[in-house]
Chain A
Amino acid sequence: MFPMIAAMAIAAAAPSTPAPDQASRWLLYPDAQRPLMAYVANEGGDQLQLDCTQTCKYRLVLAIPCIGGTTMPGIANGEAKDVPVSLTCRRDGKWMILDIDGPDLGELFVGDKIAFGMTSPDELISIKRFSLAGAKEAIAAVKAQAAH
């Protein structure tokens, strides 16, 4: 339950139209001293998170609809490589949370941006792009806290 509450808290904390600095840098939740999550928001209000409240897991929090329990195929496209991923939807209030399963995404965190392409009933293919500015530091901090 706690991760879901935390995710909701993060989602609620993120403004629907993030300020430019928030839309371009990774942030820590709840604080930098004992971070449980690292996340970044894009200009559309979507988020990419690394959640280490239990086991560390990457996920997308999106403003687009998905059907709870369904799995969507997708591709994660970094500047160095691209890999197929599986995105499992679980609804959390109005937020659509997609757990990302696939190869270690850490290898994709190279360069300025990462993009996720996924099948979508309305757009057919939906693309979500996120900044990687500050990602390595934020992810390392969360993983260090999780290993603590």
Chain B
Amino acid sequence: MFRTIALMIMAVFAASAVAAPSVQQRTFGEWHGDAQPGYQNAHAINSAGSEFGFTCTERSSCIYYVDLRRDCIKGRIYPALISTPAGGTTTEAFCLKLGDRSMFMFDHPQLYDFLGESEFAFGLPIEDSQFNIQKFSLSGAKDAVAWVKDQAGRDAGSAHGGH
């Protein structure tokens, strides 16, 4: 499943590089949203320049991702820790390469509920028995993700002849 969504996401990010005239942009607290036909995304960038976001394809397949500004092995699935003040869990993150960006794609059934918290941490085991831990503000995250889902639903509707 990861691979299928990853391929869709790759196309989505590639499409986003070409600015479309009908792009919509919204700000939700610390989160920034972009929506255009075939591309819906919301994300926050922390002080280290790492990015935590949520993106959807035109078929309404949506997934969370982090860009830790570090390399990963394309196609490898990494174990990862995700945590908020309300709790956390382990998940699996799929390495996706997009040009010079390395992105970790992941999802978890509890994740949307976690977005109502204040802060989110992503921990990735790395070499030399170390962990790369990045923290992100969740201010506005739940509204931003809901907006992206809504935009993706409208986009899918129009793509299939809906209004």
A interface, CB within 8 angstroms of B: 72-75, 77-79, 82-84, 111-115, 117-121, 124-125, 127, 129
Contact = CB atoms under 8 A, between A and B. Distances in A.
Contacts of A111: 129
Interface stretch (B24-32, B67-75, B83-91, B153-161): B83-91
A72 B85 CA distance: 13
Contact of A115 (B79, B84, B87, B130): B130
A63 to B, nearest CB: 19
10 contacts: A75-B79, A75-B80, A78-B129, A83-B79, A114-B129, A117-B123, A119-B89, A124-B133, A124-B135, A125-B81
B131 interface: yes
A65 to B, nearest CB: 14
B128 A113 contact: yes
Secondary structure call for the A interface: strand
Contacts of A84: 79, 90
Interface of B: 79-81, 83-85, 87-90, 119-121, 123, 125-131, 133, 135
Contacts of A127: 123, 131, 133
Nearest to B128: A79
Given A74-B81, A125-B133, A119 B88 contact: yes
B53 to A, nearest CB: 18
Contacts of A112: 129
A84 B90 CA distance: 7
Contacts of B135: 124
A92 B8 CA distance: 50
Contact of A82 (B84, B87, B125, B133): B125
A124 B88 contact: yes
Contacts of B121: 124-125
A64 to B, nearest CB: 14
B83 A120 contact: yes
